[in-house]
Amino acid sequence: MTDVIEREIKVKLDVDPQKFIDRLVKEGYEYLGREVQEDIYLNGEAKDFKKTDEALRIRTVGDKIELTYKGPRMGSESKSREEITVVLDSRESMVKILEKLGYRPVYKIKKIRYTFKKENFTICVDNVEGLGNFLEVEGIDVEERELIDFFNKIKILFNLKEEVITKSYLELMVNALDHSNSN
Amino acid sequence: MTDVIEREIKVKLDVDPQKFIDRLVKEGYEYLGREVQEDIYLNGEAKDFKKTDEALRIRTVGDKIELTYKGPRMGSESKSREEITVVLDSRESMVKILEKLGYRPVYKIKKIRYTFKKENFTICVDNVEGLGNFLEVEGIDVEERELIDFFNKIKILFNLKEEVITKSYLELMVNALDHSNSN
């Protein structure tokens, strides 16, 4: 149960993710574990989230199921959005109810996420099916400046050259599918 | 977590509900307990459930919170509807998400429910705030004929003269409020 502002910065990892994970541990980042996240994104029949820049997601991690609404982007350099989450007991029933309300599943995204913690930030190394490896740094209810400063320290420490990606995994997936369809 | 057909028959109780409860116990109906149910009904900005004969409800009973969608009436004598339910961890967050999806709370119904069981049926004696006392007989995934037969036995046994009400508590509440507004 949360109703927070989530800020995140993401880059593509062109280095071997395992090496990157080992480095994080070595540098004293606290390792919180590995999990497989299966996300279903829904879209409205009457309301197109692509246009309104909102998102509705059901995430399954093992036995845990969460419904999350994400509001439109608010930040500039970081990706900051209102986020409202409820924990559920059934993915199937939630999908059925949402379909009755005019929202239907449109994309699935599956990733393996390795999570680390340092100070007020969560550092995720994500292997996203069909998209590759990414580093995501997230802060809940932090100032945008704090997140950017923290992220810049990581960039220097790990000598990351990649540009910041402001798109969500959903948008990257939509782009990738659009691209493969047009070929 | 359910996705079932719920059939129910309801009558107004003009006898003292406590006496009726005592009679049920005496006749060997298994008493399952008393609970206070607080229901929030939501309606769509774009989709008017009054017209489509659907319902979306968040029920809170102590610590337990459920979101339920009810489909349009299917039965004739009994009130039979598709029912899909998920259990949630937060009423407030669910209301917020549904508001983002175009559904907002419109009515609250609070009742004290005494529940009994006999054969495949649930027998509820309800004290509904602002509406009075009712007897509801419910069957999940039973034939309409079975429910009506069972209900008729109760009617004879308890000498109930009241007519069957096909309206839901929500509709009775809307009628009562409409009536009080027009005076």
Query: CATH number, domain at A17?
Result: 2.40.320.10
Report pLDDT for A182.
66
> Which has more pLDDT, B183 or A61?
A61
> Measured between alpha carbons, how far apart are the two ends of chain B, in Å?
42
Q: Range with the lowest mean pLDDT among A123-132, B5-14, B90-99?
A: B5-14
Inform me whether the C-beta atom of residue A88 falls under 8 Å from chain B C-beta atoms: yes
Report pLDDT for A78.
67
Q: Flag whether pLDDT at A3 surpasses 70.
A: no
Q: Which of 26-55 (B) contact A at CB < 8 A?
A: 44, 46-47, 54
Which of A42, A52, A84 has the most B C-beta neighbours within 10 Å, making it the best mutation to test the interface with B?
Answer: A84
Inform me whether the C-beta atom of residue B94 falls under 8 Å from chain A C-beta atoms: yes
CA neighbor of A5 nearest in space, from A58, A64, A74:
A74
Report pLDDT for B60.
98
In this prediction, residues B17-45 reach a mean pLDDT of 94
Q: Do A93 and B101 touch (CB under 8 A)?
A: no
Q: Do B86 and A84 touch (CB under 8 A)?
A: no
pLDDT confidence bin for B166, thresholds 50/70/90: confident
What ipTM does this complex have?
Answer: 0.86
CB B81 within 8 A of CB B72: yes
In this prediction, residues A21-42 reach a mean pLDDT of 95
Report pLDDT for A38.
98
Q: What is the DSSP string of B111-155?
A: EEEEEEEETTEEEEEEEETTTEEEEEEEEES--HHHHHHHHHHHH
Q: Rounded mean pLDDT of chain B?
A: 90
Q: Do A93 and B44 touch (CB under 8 A)?
A: no
In this prediction, residues A14-19 reach a mean pLDDT of 86
Structural domain tally of chain A? 1
pLDDT confidence bin for B19, thresholds 50/70/90: confident
- Spell A127-161 as b/e; 16+ CB within 10 A means b: bbeebebbbbbbbeebebeebbebbeebbeebebe
Report pLDDT for A1.
44
A to B CB pairs, distance under 8 Å: 80
Q: Flag whether pLDDT at B170 surpasses 60.
A: yes
CB B161 within 8 A of CB B15: no
Q: Choose the closest CB to B97 out of A84, A90, A102.
A: A84
Inform me whether the C-beta atom of residue A137 falls under 8 Å from chain B C-beta atoms: no
Q: Do A54 and B100 touch (CB under 8 A)?
A: yes
Q: What pLDDT digit, counting tens, does each position of A71-115 carry?
A: 998 866 667 889 999 999 999 999 999 999 999 999 999 999 999
Report pLDDT for B2.
53
Inform me whether the C-beta atom of residue A4 falls under 8 Å from chain B C-beta atoms: no
CB A58 within 8 A of CB A38: no
Report pLDDT for A40.
97
Q: Choose the closest CB to A96 out of B3, B46, B54.
A: B3
The four Cα atoms A54, A55, A56, A62 give a dihedral, to 10 degrees, of: -150
Q: Flag whether pLDDT at A2 surpasses 90.
A: no
Quick check: helix, strand or coil at residue A24?
A: helix
Inform me whether the C-beta atom of residue A96 falls under 8 Å from chain B C-beta atoms: yes
pLDDT confidence bin for B139, thresholds 50/70/90: confident
Which of A93, A95, A99, A104 has the most B C-beta neighbours within 10 Å, making it the best mutation to test the interface with B?
Answer: A93
Q: Do A69 and B96 touch (CB under 8 A)?
A: yes
Q: What pLDDT digit, counting tens, does each position of A133-183 carry?
A: 999 999 888 888 898 899 999 888 888 888 888 788 998 998 888 877 765
Q: Flag whether pLDDT at B77 surpasses 50.
A: yes
Q: Choose the closest CB to B94 out of A44, A86, A102.
A: A86
Q: Do B86 and A94 touch (CB under 8 A)?
A: yes
> Measured between alpha carbons, how far apart are the two ends of chain A, in Å?
42
Catalytic residues of B, which ones?
41
CB A15 within 8 A of CB A23: no
> Which has more pLDDT, B93 or B3?
B93
Give the domain range for residue A26.
Answer: 2-182
Q: Choose the closest CB to B87 out of A56, A69, A88.
A: A88
In this prediction, residues B71-86 reach a mean pLDDT of 83
Q: Range with the lowest mean pLDDT among A155-169, B33-47, B61-75?
A: A155-169
Structure tokens at B114: 């005494």
In this prediction, residues A48-76 reach a mean pLDDT of 92
Strand partners, B116: B31, B123
HSE, CB side, 13 Å, CA atoms: give it for residue B4: 14
